[in-house]
Structure 1
Amino acid sequence: MLASLGATALIVLTACGGGGEGGDADKGGKGEVASISSPAAGGSAQPSADPDAGRPQIRLDSTQDDINRMMDAWLACLKENGAEKTYKTSPNSPGVKACQGKKPVDPPELDPAKNPDYGDDVRIMVKCMNEHGIKSVVTDGGWGLDDGASLSAPGYDETMTACQVKAFGGDK
């Protein structure tokens, strides 16, 4: 229930944000209300060029609890729309499509296609994790743990978040 309220608040705040040049925010804020423009007669609304626009954004410094809350909101939507068990096998189903806007987006820094320094960042991540006693290795697709037991190491989540910020966040 709280996850749903949090997701709703996020959507409302996201919808109310913004205000670029020439928008209602430029009018001095004298009690004016932003409006949604309708397409011109015969025209159609242009979809956003970014398919991830408006989706919850996971940040490098997001805690596992933050990520879990975002994922819970998405999974609750899938369940409400009858797609909880089929989203992997039926990604184009109406239930999955209805929840696409709630599916969290990974940080762009963790996407090799968007981060030209990804390989160097991975090596910094592995070095940081190893320096904190969590045995990690560089893999073909990024980095991984040398053994699964490290997931239950004391302070794992905090260490992983701190190393991720250090490695991918530009604090090198």
Structure 2
Amino acid sequence: MSIIDFSRSRSAAAVVTAAATLTLAAGCSGAAKTDSSPGVQGTAGVASIQKPSAAASAETVATERPLIRLDTSEEEIKRVSDVFADCLLTNGLPKAAVMKGGTTIDPADISDVWGPLSDKVRADLKKNCASKQPEFARDRARRLDPAYADHMEAFVKCLKDHDIKAVLKDGELSSIDEMPTGGKAHWMQDCEQEGFAGYYSTLK
């Protein structure tokens, strides 16, 4: 079985499962954008000037977001998903959008796929909900850890060392030849923990 664009461990499924059972499901459908917070990614080849205060503000939001660790309980995932969903609804995102599952919507970059949103709604979502969006440990590492690429290499090496054929594409875990099951299933999480140990140990 080929797994394409595999980017998260069991916690990803846990978030979606938890969100689907909520009265106010956490998040919405659409491409994941947890790694595209403002101020983190620049435009390649284009010189720009960014005020230090804006960059500092973006990093503050990133570090304040609820962190989903590899060992985060299902109950805690459900709790932070609930808080995020409530915020999205309270600040004007249509209920139909919120109930489509997941927590991948980025309040700082809302699309019009569910209908036009006013500038006020967009501003309110960004201001009030960006810091409440749950964030996977690896997503935080992708945004804030300068050694992210090295950690990914170590992650994949660990998988290969345990006979799990993993492939990196553009620095991300794009596919694995066969999803490990049974006695090998734990290596997806264990190898991520091993590969990112240096960074994960700094997370509070």
Report the TM-score, using the length of structure 2 for normalisation: 0.44
Aligned CA distance change for structure 1 residues 76 and 66 (closer, same or farther; 3 Å): same
Counterpart of 1:62 (choices 71, 92, 104) is 71
Structure 1: distance between partners of 2:140 and 2:171: 11
Q: Which has the higher contact order (CA 8 A, sep 6+)?
A: 2
Tell me the equivalent position of 1:142. 172
Return the alpha-carbon distance in structure 2 between the equivalents of residues 73 and 106 of structure 1: 16
Q: Percent of aligned pairs with the same residue?
A: 26
Tell me: CA distance 1:68–1:170, structure 2 relative to 1, closer, same or farther (3 Å). Answer: same
Q: Structure 1 pair 117/96, CA: closer, same or farther in 2 (3 Å)?
A: closer
C-alpha RMSD of matched pairs (Å): 4.2
Contact map agreement 1:77 1:99 (CA 8 A) in 2:
yes
Unaligned runs of 5+ in 1: 5-45
Give the number of aligned pairs.
Answer: 126
Equivalent position amino acid for 1:71 in 2: S
Stretches of structure 2 lacking an aligned partner (at least 5 in a row): 1-21, 24-52, 99-106, 112-116, 200-204
With over 3 angstroms needed to count, the CA separation of the structure-2 counterparts of 1:164 and 1:108, relative to structure 1, is closer
Q: Distance in 2 between matches of 1:94 and 1:110?
A: 23
Work out whether residues 121 and 168 of structure 1, in 8 Å CA contact, stay in contact via their aligned partners in 2.
yes
Which digits, 9 at most, give the CA deviation of each residue in 1:85-135, with x for residues without a partner?
275416825345432231123437853453232222111111222334443
**Corresponding letter in the other structure for 1:57:** L
d(CA) in 2 for partners of 1:142, 1:132: 19
Deviation string for 1:108-163 (max 9, x for gaps)? 7853453232222111111222334443111103223225x62x734677432221
Letter in 1 for 2:132: K
Rounded Cα–Cα distance in structure 2 between residues aligned with 1:141 and 1:66? 32
The structure having more radius of gyration, on CA atoms, is: 1
Equivalent in 77, 81, 84 of residue 71 of structure 1: 81
Contact 2:149 2:171 in 1 (8 A): no
Which of 114, 118, 135 is residue 148 of structure 2 equivalent to?
A: 118
**What TM-score does the superposition give when structure 1 sets the normalisation length?**
0.51
CA distance in 2, matches of 1:162, 1:116: 22
**Residue 159 of structure 1 pairs with residue 187 of structure 2:** yes
